[in-house]
Chain A
Amino acid sequence: MPKIRVRSLSKVFGNNPTPALKLRDKGLKRPEILEKTGMTLGLSKIEFDVNEGELLVIMGLSGSGKSTLIRCLNRLIEPTEGSVEINGQDIVKLDNKGLLRFRRETFGMVFQHFALFPHRTVLENTEYGLEIQGVDKGSRAKKGLEALQLVGLEEWADAYPDQLSGGMQQRVGLSRALAADPDILLMDEAFSALDPLIRRDMQQELLDLQTRMKKTVIFITHDLDEALNLGDRIILLKDGEIVQEGSPEEILTHPANRYVERFIEGVDMTRILTANAAMTPARAIGYLNDGPRTVLHRMRENGMDRMLITTRERKLCGLVEADVLNEAVKRGDRRIQDLLITDLHKVSEDEPLNNLFPLFDERSYPIAVVDEQDRLKGVVVRGSLLAELAQAATVESGQKDNKQAQPEGEHIV
């Protein structure tokens, strides 16, 4: 069972939502509905699941409904229709008392502008959730300090929020959300108000916390880089509807439509795309126990002047050049073991592309992509790397249909 299960969730802002929903069902979009009824369709038929321990990023530009969506999950905004099941319990149906209990025990929330209470010390802020649950002073101070330790701010317990920098304030915000040990963290543009360097640190810290504490996290952002960095899964929202849902890689490589394409404009593709995207399977390889003549023959057949050599289990051994083989055949050598060039660059499939550039040296040998057991998965040649980037660039400029020519094969492997 998923931890969170959202079904046909809609929100209409305005006092009479029924006609707006009827128009929506007839297929009208947000602007027409606003014009006809004066009501804003904030969210329309949102459906998604979040699994335990997953970090789901909900991404969209301002006005896309992402803040409304996260507030519907704990009913800071009342949904107009639909259900939000948490551990199988529909919280839309809860009465006031049950809702308060859910907010206290199940949710921790972090806000864009921190929303720390200025009249309370850092520790008192952290304790807030426990305090309103009626936890006694001693144990809430203990738990509050533990939460502050998680974010490395225990020494600032007695300071007031306005004595802290923005990054530190948001750490307090995070520890306040964590203090009552909730299952679910709701993070509303939590790092958007921080400067880029601090932001990176905070993202890393959140990921570290996440691996340790295994919270279910819903993270709202308008920043694709942040979404790609954090998300196990990303949901893209536009005009209150889900445009695409998928892993970061899926969204980047297969944008569902123009909106998503426009969104991924400006993303530094070299950082996001990995060796896997630029990799081609090796067209032909030689085996270690083949003789030089066999390998040379296979090279001629494929029009190649170099060939990768592996074991029968596809374990990478090295590379031979055609002229070296020729010499060996003339000499009558029968083993290719001694002819191998072994100082090849090897990378794993998830190596970011920008790390591959420096590996191409003047010999222009291919870069071998291998798995954990050193088995050959494919190769990256300079041409295919550049081609992949060129294609990414065309996606960025919104001309994806005008597809780039296939990589200029260097006919080496």
Chain B
Amino acid sequence: MSFLDNKIPLGHWVESGLDFLTEEYSSVTRTISDVTENAIFGLNDLLFDIRPELLIVVFALLAWKVGYWRKGLFAGNWRLGVFTAVGFALIYNLGLWDSMLESFTLVLFATVVAVALAVPLGILAALYEGMYRIIMPVLDFMQTMPAFVYLIPAIPFFGIGPVAAIFATVIFSMPPAIRFTTLGIRQVPTQLIEAADAFGSTKAQKLLKLQLPMAVPTMMAGINQTIMLALSMVVIAAMIGADGLGGDVWKAIQRLQPGKGFEAGLAVVILAMVLDRMTQKLGQAKRQSK
């Protein structure tokens, strides 16, 4: 019998660690959970209350106009506007309207949290070599670890429901936003940094007046990726009780209803395409004004 056969109790260690965290901090995590859940349900209820026809028009107008604010009253991306109107009308018609709104809320919350965490981390990694060396391997880990694994600790922390889903989604979708923020800041040409230095900028002034503004287009590309990854988590998140289109997909799987499954899947695709094109336009709009 070789020493290799003595199993290292790695899983046991992780569990003890998680148990410890749950016991010590569950009151904190539960509070976070309650607050977030209220916010999510509140936003959902608000969206449910608006007449779908009106909301479709609002979404379509937004899609038409995004990235064209400063280019005149009638300038806009009419193709994306029409696509959004038709696509969302189809979702409504298929009876998936409420699910779509729930998924939308979930993605929105997950993205906001992910970006709020990712941007400072990305800045730290860009400015400090030591942080870069720590953060980058962690990102590799976060992205390659199967996303399902995050669901397991999410439940003891936040309980079954949308908040646990958001927790897992944030971890899974955050890396590109961090990476692109770091990249965007590091891409600022050294001669511009030198110029800022020559005029006596402090570190903070350099960051706020030069590095971050110049990194915005790249950061927007990262945020776009984050949104797409968040949306891809929607189906998985349904396993731990998040509502939305993922739930419909799961029901179709369990009842072996390929037609229903396709309908729900198509709704995810439509939502993904609308969000993707809109955020892409947002990034490009920034680029053009430069």
Contacts and interface: CB of A to CB of B under 8 A. Distances in A.
Given A118-B290, A132-B205, A160-B290, A101 B200 contact: yes
Contacts of A102: 200
Contacts of A115: 189, 191-192, 194-195
Interface string A119-135: 10000000011011100
A102 B210 CA distance: 21
Interface string B162-204: 0000000000000000000000000001011011111111100
Nearest to A131: B209
Nearest to B205: A132
Nearest to A179: B199
A103 interface: yes
B214 interface: yes
A104 interface: yes
A116 B191 CA distance: 9
B200 A132 contact: yes
Identify whether the interface residues of A are mostly helix, strand, loop, or mixed. Answer: mixed
Nearest to B195: A115
A115 B191 CA distance: 6
B191 A111 contact: yes
Nearest to A186: B198
B213 interface: yes
A155 B85 CA distance: 44
Nearest to B201: A132
A117 interface: yes
A133 B200 CA distance: 8
B210 A76 contact: no
Interface in A110-165: 111, 113, 115-119, 128-129, 131-133, 160, 162
A109 B214 contact: no
Contacts of B199: 103-104, 109, 128-129, 132, 176, 180
A274 interface: no
A109 B198 contact: yes
Interface in A153-189: 160, 162, 176, 180, 186
A162 B200 CA distance: 24
A180 B290 CA distance: 25
Given A131-B209, A132-B209, A160-B290, A117 B198 contact: no
A104 B199 CA distance: 5
A119 B196 CA distance: 13
Residue from A131, A132, A186 with most neighbouring chain B CB atoms (10 Å) = A132
Interface in B204-222: 205, 209-210, 213-214
B157 to A, nearest CB: 41
A74 interface: yes
A100 B202 contact: yes
| Contact size range, B | 10 to 19
Contacts of B189: 115
B195 A109 contact: yes
Contact of B192 (A74, A100, A117, A176): A117
Contacts of B195: 109, 111, 115-117
Contacts of A118: 214, 290
Contacts of A101: 200
A89 to B, nearest CB: 16
Contact of A76 (B194, B205, B213, B290): B194
B197 to A, nearest CB: 6
A129 B200 contact: yes
A90 to B, nearest CB: 18
B198 A119 contact: no
Nearest to A96: B202
Contacts of A116: 195
A102 B195 CA distance: 15
Nearest to A103: B200
- Interface size range on A against B: 20 to 34
A76 B197 contact: yes
Contacts of A74: 198
A107 interface: yes
Nearest to B189: A115
A401 to B, nearest CB: 44
B210 A117 contact: yes
Nearest to B190: A115
B216 to A, nearest CB: 8
A131 B206 CA distance: 12
B71 to A, nearest CB: 16
Interface string A90-101: 000000000111
Nearest to A77: B194
B158 to A, nearest CB: 40
Nearest to B197: A76
Contacts of A100: 200, 202
Interface string A52-93: 000000000000000000000010100000000000000000
Contacts of B200: 99-104, 129, 132-133
Given A132-B205, A132-B209, A119 B197 contact: no
A153 to B, nearest CB: 18
A119 B213 contact: yes
A376 B210 CA distance: 62
A103 B197 contact: yes
Nearest to A113: B191
B287 to A, nearest CB: 10
A190 to B, nearest CB: 12
A76 B198 contact: yes
B253 to A, nearest CB: 48
A111 B194 CA distance: 9
A66 B276 CA distance: 50
Interface string B141-162: 0000000000000000000000
Interface of A: 74, 76, 99-104, 107, 109, 111, 113, 115-119, 128-129, 131-133, 160, 162, 176, 180, 186
Given A111-B191, A180-B199, 15 more contacts: A100-B200, A102-B200, A103-B197, A109-B195, A111-B194, A115-B191, A117-B192, A117-B196, A117-B210, A117-B214, A119-B213, A128-B209, A132-B201, A132-B209, A133-B200
Interface of B: 189, 191-192, 194-202, 205, 209-210, 213-214, 290
9 tightest A-B contacts by CB? A103-B200, A104-B200, A115-B195, A109-B198, A129-B199, A100-B200, A115-B191, A119-B213, A119-B290
10 contacts: A76-B194, A76-B198, A99-B200, A111-B194, A115-B194, A117-B209, A128-B209, A132-B201, A132-B205, A132-B209
